[in-house]
Structure 1
Amino acid sequence: MEAKKKEHLKLEKQSGLYFAIGMTLILGLVYAALEWKTFDQIINGTFGQLEIPDSLEEEIPPLVQLLPPPPPKIQVPEFLEIIKNDDPEPETFIEPTEANQNTEVASVTSIEFAEEETPEEVIFINVEEVPVFPGCEKSDDKRACFQEKMLKHVRKNFKYPENAIDMGLQGKVYLQFTVQKDGTIGGLKMRGPHQILESEAARIISKLPKMKPGKQRNQAVKVPFSIPITFQLQ
């Protein structure tokens, strides 16, 4: 039996092509709809413009200062009446207090000066008469002789503690003592790296002899003296 339609006229053979063409048209319409733009109509006319200055300066409003009211006017009477004083009071005369060539000078019979108090303690470098170390009585420079005798005393009585040697202790001990008014030694103060070295330095100072006390204005005073003792291992 022969087919009613011709074979080359069947639509089923080109359905894929038609489908592709239809999809292309639809996508084109959708893209055109999304990209569609409208513009407002331009109206010719005059518009306002905002003017902006190059620099902004603060405009300070003028200050209004209220002035105080003027003082009341003094009313002067039209006529002045002068009254004569028949019994005037004597004027008080004020004598000048400043001295001049006619001022009498009071005679001075005696002048008493206040005595300055002698301080209780004067340091070694400022005291007028330093303490006299035994053996420095006839020295011309008793201050230098005192220092020399002090160094000899330290060298003579110096002994390195054995326990300090075992422990490897060394350093400098700073001492300050005071030659009292009676020539004895007191007021010992120490500062060192270890108590063992401080004890040895105190033993050396305790062997100092009694001295002639220092004097300030011919009065005995306390005289502090400072000396360092160095402990150094060989």
Structure 2
Amino acid sequence: MEVKKNPKKQLENFSKIFFQIGLVLTLFIIYTLIEHKTYEKNDLKTLGTTNMVDEMQEDIPIIEMKDIKPPPKSAPTLVEKIKVVEDEMKVEETIIESTETDEGDAIIINTEDIVEVEEVEEVIEDIPFILIENVPVYPGCKGNNKELKDCFTKKITEYFGSKFDVNLATEIGLTEGKKRIFVVFRIDKKGKVTDVKARAPHRRLETEVVSIISSLPKMIPGKQRGRAVGVSYSIPITFEVR
């Protein structure tokens, strides 16, 4: 069967091109309508009138120039006349008596008005063992300040261990295990141990500890700024009950 239409001239082949051309024209018309500007027509008769007025002129006052007269000259001050004294004129001399005392003259002082004031001794509170400049020296300890501190603690511990009655804990019926006792005392300005206080699991232990620490030997007192002062010391003591 023969085809009557020429395939090259069929409109279906150009449908895409026509669609694109139509789309472009449509967008162009829409853009033109959006960008089109319109203006309202106002009635020119209703417009107000404008009057042109000259700028306000400020009147500047005229200042009259006056002749300024100089102030009148004051009369010259009179200078006092200097009177010349002749050499023959006598001048009276003023005699100034000396206030110095002679070595032979006695000075009498009234001692009844003198009040004696007693010098108040400066009170220095006890200084903790860890902060003292020069620690108390336990008998037999030597060395620098650190060595003296270590020796002090060692000697206190050894002394307490040699005096403490271990069987006392069993007598008062303490349970087995480790027990701790806290002791606080001071070394006064003379090196004596005073104000011993203890805290222990039993009253009898506290009494025993206070008795032992109070019997410590006399020491060389601690010093702060070169002066003997009281030193407070605390030590925890641990022992085991079996």
Q: What is the TM-score when the length of structure 2 is the normalising length?
A: 0.45
